[in-house]
Amino acid sequence: MATHLVWFRNDLRVNDNLALAAACRDPHARVVAIFIATAHQWRQHEMSPRQAEFIWLHLQSLHTSLADRGIELFIHQVDGFDESVECLNTFCEAQQVDALFYNYQYELNERRRDAAVEKAFGSNVICQGFDDSVLLPPGSVTTGNHEMYKVFTPFSKAFIKRLREALPECVTAPKIRGVILPETNKLTVFDYPRQPVDERLFPIGEQQAINQLRQFCRQPVADYHELRDFPAVDGTSRLSAYLAIGVLSPRQCLHRLLKEHPQALEGGAGAIWLNELIWREFYRHLLVAYPKLCRHQPFIPWTDNVAWRQDETQFIAWQQGCTGFPIVDAAMRQLNKTGWMHNRLRMVVASFLVKDLLIDWRCGERYFMSQLIDGDLAANNGGWQWAASTGTDAAPYFRIFNPTTQGERFDAKGEFIRQWLPELSSVPDKYIHTPWVWADKQPLTLDYPRPIVDHKQARIATLAAYEVARKSEEK
């Protein structure tokens, strides 16, 4: 009897899992599963303790779901990717594995690890990989010259054209296999810092994620284009955490969206959220086309010549939400408390760090990864490079968000700000974005910092720094 091994990574689900479905296709094969925690690698990549907890909780849920289907899940822990290759080899020998099934990861180190696994196994174990975390495989949506698009809009148009021609199919969860599993198989907890998850925001379990997707696609997605920019309104899906570790697949998201809103591909209701799914694809495709993005390098070479400031005091103030700019501080405190931040605010705080404080975008990118429950290299790097004007399809370097007017526009009455900055609860709506203007007129002192930077002066300095860097490339 053949033994098939499913190597789980960022795909912690039984529904629409291409590798799992393929491994279970032979009804006579014995199927086992493994998850290898690489703690040292996680630390190097700043994985947040809250995401580690989210992974652990969903591994327990996955363990139960697989066991119900007659599939045993094992957890092993090693330091890094080199050791994971050895671990996998040893496990396959012990379990007499004939075929290994896994879903591709597109980061550079992960791709090298998978190549090392295939080389190590040779012809002893058949390896089968699948493009599971994307709607369309990287390299399949290209220009007329067969090159990766460098601008999102034409990529999106070509992407939608492909979807109209043929939608990627979802696969069903595997059927129950006629196997009695030993009751002694308890999951081994991996040794990595973990932090509690707010289950009111992120319910645990694959079915809970599916329920949240269904609920969002019924009506909220139709209003997404109107509500998505206002952080005080519950107008976003909050599905990114599930997509990041693969509790949901992008195909499930697409099919559920089109079931509720069939005209989304034609620009109808739901099209704006579909566009967000395509941004996710864009950043993944870019990682494969331009591996330097995995090496902390900017897409636009001359931007690496920007003379970044190294101001630890201001960087810490930004991290802690103590900059004196209410919308920035409220957003950072939301991140630190929940592991999640509203998408509009991610752009605002990133712009503030880079364009107001002139601190290297990579510092912000790393800090976000250390806090985010939905940490994802492709999306996080893409977002930060967009905000810093260093990436493909980035905002022009002279486009600089004014944090005060951003707050006035998207949190006019300060509802979101007051939720996260209770020390400003007594400030009138008129002054909620400039509390010190009000406080200086009163016989009181706010328990809130004054702005750590003058935005107008910072904007001038930033434009000059970018201009110097740009001209240095011309010499």
- The pLDDT tens digits for 137-165 are 999 999 999 999 999 999 999 999 999 99
Alpha helices in 122-249 (DSSP H): 152-165, 206-218, 224-227, 240-245
Find out whether 107 and 287 touch, Cβ atoms under 8 Å: yes
Q: Say yes or no: 126 and 140 in one domain.
A: no
**How much of the chain, in percent, has pLDDT values that exceed 70?**
99
Residue 46 gets the label, from left (phi > 0), alpha (psi -120 to 50) or beta, of left
Question: Would the annotation count 277 as a binding residue?
Answer: yes
Q: Which residues contact 19 (CB under 8 A, 6 or more apart)?
A: 6, 7, 11, 101, 102, 103, 128, 129, 130, 132
Per-residue model confidence (pLDDT) at position 445: 83
pLDDT on residue 396: 87
**Position 182 pLDDT exceeds 80:** no
Confidence (pLDDT) at 249: 98
Does the annotation list 372 as a binding residue? no
Share of the chain above pLDDT 90, in %: 93
Distance CA 453, CA 37 (A): 42
Is 238 marked as a binding-site residue?
A: yes
Domain boundary among 221, 255, 289: 289
Residue 325 pLDDT class (50, 70, 90 cuts): very high
Q: Is the domain of 218 the same as that of 241?
A: yes
User: Are 149 and 263 in a shared domain?
Assistant: yes
Q: Do 456 and 318 fall within a single domain?
A: yes
The answer for residues whose C-beta is within 8 angstroms of residue 432's C-beta and 6 or more apart is 326, 407, 413, 414, 417, 418, 424
Integer angstrom CA distances of residue 381 from 28, 100, 361, 384, 433:
44, 31, 9, 5, 29
State the DSSP code for 142: B
**Residue 184: pLDDT above 70?**
no
* 237 assigned binding-site residue: yes
- Looking at the structure, do residues 160 and 225 belong to the same domain, yes or no? yes
For residue 148, list its beta bridge partners: 142
Question: What CA–CA distance (Å, rounded) separates 14 from 166?
Answer: 24
Structure tokens of 19? 């590798």
Average pLDDT, the chain: 95
What's the half-sphere exposure (Cβ side, CA atoms, 13 Å) at 458? 20
pLDDT at position 475: 59
DSSP letter assigned to residue 339: S
In this prediction, residues 272-286 reach a mean pLDDT of 97
* 280 annotated as ligand-binding: yes
Same domain, 239 and 260: yes
Mean pLDDT of 407-431: 97
Give the tens place of pLDDT for each residue, 389-401: 999 987 788 889 9
Q: Where are the beta strands (DSSP E) in 193-292?
A: none
Alpha-carbon distances, residue 108 vs 111, 114, 116 (angstroms): 5, 10, 12
Query: Residue type at 80?
Result: G
Task: Tell me: is residue 240 an annotated ligand-binding position.
Answer: yes
Give 444's pLDDT tier (boundaries 50, 70, 90). confident
Q: Is residue 21 part of a domain?
A: yes
Is 234 assigned a ligand-binding role in the annotation? no
pLDDT band at 126 (very low <50, low <70, confident <90, very high): very high
Our CA dihedral for 333, 335, 341, 344, rounded to 10 degrees, sits at: 50
Taking residues 12-37, what's their average pLDDT? 97
Contacts of 119 (CB under 8 A, 6+ apart): none
Contact 36, 87 (CB under 8 A): yes
Q: Is 123 a known ligand-binding residue?
A: no
- Residue 418, marked binder: no
Residue at a domain's end among 289, 309, 344:
289
Would you say residue 188 lies in a domain?
A: no
CATH of the domain at 430: 1.10.579.10
- Phi–psi pair at 411, nearest 5 degrees: -145, 60
Sheet holding 99-103, edge to edge: 72-78, 30-38, 3-8, 99-103, 126-130
Q: What per-residue confidence (pLDDT) applies to 367?
A: 98
Q: Which helix (H) or strand (E) is 237 found in, with range?
A: none
Q: Mark whether 311 and 457 lie in a shared domain.
A: yes
* 33, 181 Cβ separation under 8 angstroms: no
Contact 417, 321 (CB under 8 A): no
Express each pLDDT in 100-114 by its tens digit. Answer: 999 999 999 999 999
Residue 205, marked binder:
no
Position 295 in a domain: no
Annotated ligand binding at 156? The verdict is: no
How far is Cα 281 from Cα 13, in angstroms, rounded to an integer? 20
Q: Does one domain contain both 328 and 408?
A: yes
Residue ranges in 321-411 assigned as alpha helix (H): 326-338, 343-351, 361-371, 377-387, 403-410
By annotation, the residues acting in catalysis are 276, 279, 308, 343, 361, 384
Same domain, 87 and 145: no
Which residues are registered as beta bridge partners of 32?
Answer: 5, 72
Using the 3D structure, point to which of 130, 161, 185 is the last residue of a domain.
Answer: 130
Cβ contact 264:258 at 8 Å: yes
Q: Which DSSP string do the residues of 19-35 spell out, in sequence order?
A: HHHHHTSSTTSEEEEEE
For residues 50 and 378, what is the distance between their CA atoms, to the nearest angstrom?
A: 19
Domain hosting 355: range is 301-474
Find the radius of gyration of the CA atoms of the chain. Answer: 24
Q: How many folded domains does the chain comprise?
A: 3
Question: Do 126 and 142 have their domain in common?
Answer: no
Query: Has 278 been labeled as part of a binding site?
Result: yes
Strand ranges in 72-167 using DSSP code E only, listed in sequence order: 72-78, 99-103, 126-130
Taking residues 373-386, report their average pLDDT.
97
Q: How far apart are CA 122 and CA 131, in angstroms?
A: 21
Scanning the structure block, which residue is given the tokens 């689900």?
A: 13
